[in-house]
Amino acid sequence: MEPNKPCWCGSGKKYKKCHKAFDEKLHLLKMQGHIIPDHSIIKTPEQIEKIRLSADLNTAVLDAVAAEIRPGMSTQEIDDIVYTYTVDHGGIPAPLNYEGFPKSVCTSINDQICHGIPSEDDILQEGDIVNVDVSTILDGYFSDASRMFMIGEVPENAKRLIQVTEECVRLGLEQAKPWGFLGDIGEAVNTHAQTNGYQVVRDIGGHGVGLEFHEEPFVSYVTRRGTEMVLAPGMMFTIEPMINEGTFEYTVDRDNGWTVYTADGLLSAQIEYMVLITETGHEVLTK
């Protein structure tokens, strides 16, 4: 690219004063055999501001669920809260009609790993653990985050699973910094899960997010340090490991084609944050 032409990132600055050094660094890493991000997944400051607003609404939706969730509630009621709150605040629930998904949110209880479909028949019971995965479109920009909720008093093994899942995400986040690798995050998550006797779900994982619901890169949590895509400022993706008490193997509901269960019927927990790689480290856009 011409050094004096405006930078591809849309900053309006000359290329030589903007992303030239960045491109040179990535080019070198590519020559060394690393996977590098395409310009299309590097967010501009304007895009980041818009995505931030979407993420703020997503967080508010999760807070609205947190305020209401209790034993005896159906997962359909959670869906109603998510739909109503999102639409009332000018957003669209991203899951609704996404590849045929029939509801506004995923609610995954106990041995459900992910993609649980809200239903009037699924009543939250004291002792359940449930993942509520909220994704929002605001002004065309996408956000995505999930939390674990404990329904009343839950068994010790469930508490411990959730605590370790939180620790896995925190350790993964510590590795989210420019010029590191996606594999650094995966290894941190997987090592901590295994140390605690748990297994991490493979082939379902995180993803780039912001301009689309699911963008490049795919984010695995069983990868090795120094491998997978180089992390560069402006990249945005989710960290959302699924941690199983027992085997990482899973089955998919034959009737609805969506809901993923642990193969052994033991518990699974998941926490999802949306992360921006910055010049100095990272920023979590959701809570």
Residues that bind Co ion (CB under 5 A): 144, 238
Is it true that the peptide bond before 217 is cis, omega within 30 degrees of 0?
yes
22 vs 98, beta carbon nearer ligand MF3: 98
Tokens at residue 72, please?
A: 């005896």
Total number of residues shown for the chain:
287
Q: What HEC string does 40-93 produce?
A: HHCCCHHHHHHHHHHHHHHHHHHHHHHHHCCCCCEHHHHHHHHHHHHHHCCCEE
Tokens at residue 257, please?
A: 């084609």
209: left (phi over 0), alpha (psi -120 to 50) or beta: beta
Smallest distance from ligand MF3 to CB 109, Å:
15
- 106's contact among ligand MF3, Co ion, none, with CB below 5 to 8 A by partner kind, is ligand MF3
Tokens at residue 68, please?
A: 């209401």
Smallest distance from Co ion to CB 218, Å:
11
- 223's contact among Co ion, ligand MF3, none, with CB below 5 to 8 A by partner kind, is none
Smallest distance from Co ion to CB 87, Å:
21
Give the integer Cα–Cα distance in Å for 13 and 70: 52
Neighbours of 49 (CB within 10 A): 11
Strand ranges of the sheet holding 250-252, from the earlier edge strand across to the other edge: 112-114, 260-262, 250-252
Smallest distance from Co ion to CB 238, Å:
4
Give the integer Cα–Cα distance in Å for 138 and 273: 17
Q: Which helix (H) or strand (E) holds 191?
A: helix 182-195
- 111's contact among Co ion, ligand MF3, none, with CB below 5 to 8 A by partner kind, is none
Smallest distance from ligand MF3 to CB 119, Å:
14
Cα four-point dihedral sign 244, 250, 251, 253: positive
102 vs 246, beta carbon nearer ligand MF3: 102
112 vs 238, beta carbon nearer Co ion: 238
- 160's contact among Co ion, ligand MF3, none, with CB below 5 to 8 A by partner kind, is none
184 vs 215, beta carbon nearer Co ion: 215
- Chain residues binding ligand MF3 by CB under 6 A are 95, 98-99, 101, 106, 115, 133, 135, 144, 207, 238, 240, 272
135 vs 165, beta carbon nearer ligand MF3: 135
25 vs 214, beta carbon nearer Co ion: 214
- 261's contact among ligand MF3, Co ion, none, with CB below 5 to 8 A by partner kind, is none
Smallest distance from ligand MF3 to CB 6, Å:
34
The residue number whose beta carbon is nearest to ligand MF3 equals 95
116 vs 233, beta carbon nearer ligand MF3: 116
- 86's contact among Co ion, ligand MF3, none, with CB below 5 to 8 A by partner kind, is none
Tokens at residue 205, please?
A: 């994982």
Neighbours of 89 (CB within 10 A): 14
- 228's contact among Co ion, ligand MF3, none, with CB below 5 to 8 A by partner kind, is none
Smallest distance from Co ion to CB 5, Å:
36
